[in-house]
Structure 1
Amino acid sequence: MTHSLLTWNIKTGGGGGRLDAVVALLNRERPDIVALQELRDFQRHDGRRMREVADALGMVAHLAPSAFGQPVAVFVRPPLTITGRATVRWRLHHAAAAVEVPTPAGPLTVVSTHLNPFRPYRRQREARWLAHRHRAPLTLIAGDLNALDPDTAHTERLSRLPELYRRRHLDRDGRPDTSAIGALRAAGFVDVWRAAGEGDGLTVPTTKGGGHEFSNAGMRLDYVMARPELAARASHARVIHGDEAEWASDHYPLTVDLDLTTPY
């Protein structure tokens, strides 16, 4: 049984009429599991907006509010169910929402998170902490990690960014900082797009969704990082372009298929 997972930073809760476009794209793609970030105001009024979006998608959701930044969430489409939930609000600039989903392969753990956008050291610390908190074999960490991968030459792309935003991606020696992804890899997680990706993998900026902090550099900041046992089951990792994806957010959605047929 193959299940599709989609992760997407929808930019400040899809304000300004963009949320309808987010829902339209998700209903067209019909992923089985969705990890969303930047869910501003989704927790207000006892989570009314969260419930409205979940109902519009025909999915069950787990929302993690943030103490400092914006909420994140995981959505699951029936007949899949959520049998375990966890929320992390401290130690993270934003938050992390984790759910456990029974599958024929065994319990799948999905963590939606949004790492620190400003400080490389804090981003690395958040990544390391999440990696050591979630270590079950069928685990993935998905979301806007605000991080550069260690296998790409970033100097030329970063040179196109305004200095204020370029500093967010440089280490103390002025070199491109890849420490957050490096920390996840050191903890045994696999970059699924590297293992099973199609296209260039760039997730920001979109053509009509803003994103001045990315200039025209084109960057890959959104990831699905999986434990090796789960990464081996991944295929068709791709960035979704066109239609609503070009303007509903400043990030493109990233999707991947997971074969969860056989037991672990």
Structure 2
Amino acid sequence: MSSKDVSPAERQVREDLAAAYRLVAYYGMDDSIYTHISARVPGTEDQFLINPFGMLFRDITASSLVKIDLEGRILDDSPFDVNPAGFTIHSAVHSARHDAACVLHTHTVAGVAVSSLACGLQPCNQWALQFHERVVYHDFEGIALDPDECSRLVADLGPTSRALILRNHGLVTLGRNVPEAFILMLNLERACRVQVAIQSTGLPIHPVSLEVCEKTARQYESGDSVREAGQPDPNGREWRAMLQRIEPAAPSSFRD
């Protein structure tokens, strides 16, 4: 796709989304050609960008992303198709949560492990406390191909949650932009990895009081510890640093 075919706002979202795909691969959170990250096309409520089905996350570029609508129709001249299971989950979220500019879904070993535990995510480490009383769950119904599941998934997600654990399946994060969705997922993934490591010891977990759990979650929400002076986006600094991980070593630029 030529840069002349999209607005500057869409071009920026495409570049951020392609970078997020490559960062998911960099951090080992990809699952072959499966799972997805989608981003709403700026200025629309019924169009979003998603990965071409069959392309490795490490190779995705801004121009290879596929633009589709909520009916699954491809809206641009793309030689690729999209994964029906990815469309089911992401279209459900985008249609119900217009505040979600980006939706990120993973099937990592740690994420699936925690999603399969009856206790779910536990407040046992600092990363996990970001999601204290702020993560919701959706029961497993099989591979997400059934459109009827959409209403139940949306009901479980609710109007404000930005972290969803799909039981026996994996993790989902929602962001007001691509960087937020990615950083939320990275922290949720780390929380799951630490929990699995702790539980593997068989030793008692040192408890954190409910008061401190809530205090920590609010500290994460405020962004005060990471926000740049005079800048409204608390994720900007970390996102720019993240991009440095993929730009020098990338065989081709995600911006292409």
Common fold: TM-score over 0.5: no
TM-score by length of 1: 0.30
* Structure (1/2) with the larger helix percentage: 2
Larger Rg: 1 or 2?
Answer: 2
* Structure (1/2) with the larger strand percentage: 1
TM-score by length of 2: 0.30
